[in-house]
A and B are shown apart, each in its own frame.
Chain A
Amino acid sequence: MTENSGLPTPTPATTLETEPFWEAAAEGRFVLPRCNSCEHVIWYPRLFCPECGSTDVSYVDAAGTGTVYSFTVVEKGQGRWRDHSPYVLAYVELDEGPRMMTNIVGVDPDAVAIGAAVQAVFDPGKDGGAVIRFTLQ
């Protein structure tokens, strides 16, 4: 699902380790790195398993669903975010386990609560890329 939030969406800096994540996002797919030794789902994306030390890591499809672990409604943003306040900064706990930082978009900030079910959306940026944000299910 695509959701143009209007929030700042710069082109992410990629590395050899994170290119597969961002290339998938640009195609509308949410992938997560997973350790082939211990099955730990890794966050943030890297080609190293912080759970067992293995470097045998593959990107696999994520469900794209989770719940809000914590959030804040930022009333006074800074820099280029100043003009987008209020906006919702959050940690989402993915069904696969990781807690990832993101924004909750497309909803009234007052409707966001810890524990609320959320769904990933692909927020298009320049250059054909996309940032993964979430909206309430």
Chain B
Amino acid sequence: MSISGAAHIAGVYEHPGRNLPDVTVPQIHAAVAKGALDDAGLTFDDVDAYYCAGDAPGFGGLSMADYLGLNCREIDSTETGGSSYLVHARHAAASIAAGHIDVALITLAGKPRTGGRGPGGSMASSAPESSFESLFGLNVIAGYALAAQRHMHEFGTTSEQLAEIKVAASIHAQHNPNAFLSDPVTIDEVVESPMIARPLHRLDACVITDGGGALVMVSAETAAKLTRQTCPVLGTGVGVETTNRGRIDLTRTGAVVSGPAAFAEAGVTPADIDYASIYDSFTITVLITLEDLGFCEKGQGGGFVSDGALQAGGQLPFNTDGGGLCNNHPANRGGMTKVIEAVRQLRGEAHAEVQVADCELALAHGTGGSLATRMGSATLILGRGN
């Protein structure tokens, strides 16, 4: 059974705040939930399914369902780090297609900037691999540097090519009044920024911001009753990449599984995609993901992203809100905002300077965990709808 077209994204909301010292994390979850429901033209009473990940305080999804006063007949707190919300979207679409639920609410919120370190992908000391990865000074950017170094070794990828990705994001972010970093940067500025873990520089990394976002997904039948433009979920995929039974491949992500699954379900190919939101914890994350999704051959990502290909008006406009690299990476988790900007593009509501003309088909991709160890990847393909 295909679930393609059975569920629509009817409401999205991104919190405009990037520094939120005076509100709690539950308050942010509530604010983004209200925002997405308002956008859809629905209310909390319409919600019958709730989805959240480890950023939600409390016991799985139960505490926030209680806080929000929801009446749920489905709940899911799948945790795959920053991709969780795309996994939730796939699960919600399947439950809608099965007739189990009608209106799904998915929320993300966190305060890594002003509220201390959140749960963002932290590896619990009870994890069986813990003692074999925690003793060596591994941190988030150092892990991605291991992947970048190996990719450079195998395929000749350069720091300047990685910098192209940051440059494209920064050019987009200048049009986003909420962006945390709103000044365009050059390739030289990226490669001359301080080296954190060779070969990755400070400007190869995403921002650290407070904030959050939410999605409301509904059945096609309910979508038809709403006045707001809703975007059908045409394809979904999930992939789990591990240390591969002890033979880790640092040049591969879970997108090698999630991408083909999503394209097959949607019945489209990478060449059909008008706009792509690609998870961008670091520049290298984008480059490897583009290869694994099939936008170019494995190893050709460096050439693919060169010459402004990812900029608005380029071959594959990406992250037109500025992405995690410049705009927003709430709770250290970038998956939610990837879906939100894809919906803006399909609705023609991106900033005029970055809006893709006649955007009919958009892809959103999330990566959670770490390229250096194990990750959950998730891909959504959305249509324009009406």
- B168-214 residues with Cβ-Cβ distance < 8 A to A are 194-200
Taking the closest CB of chain B, its distance from the CB of A89, in whole angstroms, is 5
Residues of chain B contacted by A137 (CB below 8 angstroms): none
Q: Is B245 an interface residue (CB 8 A)?
A: yes
B150 touches A50 (CB 8 A): no
- A19 CA to B146 CA, complexed, in Å: 28
B137 touches A99 (CB 8 A): no
Residues of chain B contacted by A78 (CB below 8 angstroms): 139
Interface size class of B (residues with CB under 8 A): 20 to 34
A97 touches B137 (CB 8 A): no
- A1-40 residues with Cβ-Cβ distance < 8 A to B are 7-10, 12-15, 17-18, 22, 40
B128 touches A101 (CB 8 A): no
B146 touches A72 (CB 8 A): yes
A91 touches B136 (CB 8 A): no
Most buried by B among A71, A75, A101: A101
Fill in one digit per residue for A42-58: 1 if any B CB lies within 8 Å of its CB, else 0: 11111000110000000
Taking the closest CB of chain A, its distance from the CB of B225, in whole angstroms, is 49
Residues of chain B contacted by A13 (CB below 8 angstroms): 125, 130-131
Given contacts A44-B132, A89-B138, contact A72 B145 (CB under 8 A): yes
Taking the closest CB of chain A, its distance from the CB of B163, in whole angstroms, is 17
Tally of chain A residues near chain B (CB < 8 A): 46
Most buried by A among B130, B132, B145, B250: B132
B245 partner, pick from A14, A50, A102, A133, beta carbons under 8 A:
A50
- A17 CA to B127 CA, complexed, in Å: 13
Taking the closest CB of chain B, its distance from the CB of A46, in whole angstroms, is 6
Q: Is B142 an interface residue (CB 8 A)?
A: yes
B148 to A, closest residue via Cβ: A72
Residues of chain B contacted by A120 (CB below 8 angstroms): none
A103 touches B145 (CB 8 A): no
A73 partner, pick from B132, B133, B198, beta carbons under 8 A:
B198
B136 partner, pick from A40, A69, A76, A102, beta carbons under 8 A:
A102
- A50 CA to B248 CA, complexed, in Å: 13
Q: At the interface, is chain A mostly helix, strand, loop or mixed? A: loop
A101 touches B138 (CB 8 A): yes
Residues of chain A contacted by B147 (CB below 8 angstroms): 70
B198 touches A75 (CB 8 A): yes
Q: Is B353 an interface residue (CB 8 A)?
A: no
A73 touches B135 (CB 8 A): no
A131 touches B128 (CB 8 A): no
Residues of chain A contacted by B194 (CB below 8 angstroms): 75-76
Q: Is A121 an interface residue (CB 8 A)?
A: no
A74 touches B146 (CB 8 A): no
Q: Is A118 an interface residue (CB 8 A)?
A: no
B245 to A, closest residue via Cβ: A50
- A45 CA to B128 CA, complexed, in Å: 9
Residues of chain A contacted by B199 (CB below 8 angstroms): 72
A9 touches B137 (CB 8 A): no
B131 touches A18 (CB 8 A): yes
- A71 CA to B372 CA, complexed, in Å: 11
B132 touches A72 (CB 8 A): no
- List 28 contacting pairs A-B, 8 Å CB cutoff, sorted by A: A13-B130, A42-B246, A43-B243, A43-B246, A44-B129, A44-B243, A51-B245, A69-B150, A70-B147, A70-B149, A70-B153, A72-B142, A72-B145, A72-B146, A72-B197, A72-B199, A74-B197, A75-B198, A76-B197, A77-B137, A84-B137, A87-B137, A91-B146, A91-B250, A98-B247, A99-B243, A101-B138, A133-B136
Other contacts beyond A74-B198, A76-B194: 9, CB < 8 A: A9-B135, A70-B250, A72-B146, A74-B137, A98-B246, A99-B248, A114-B149, A114-B150, A114-B153
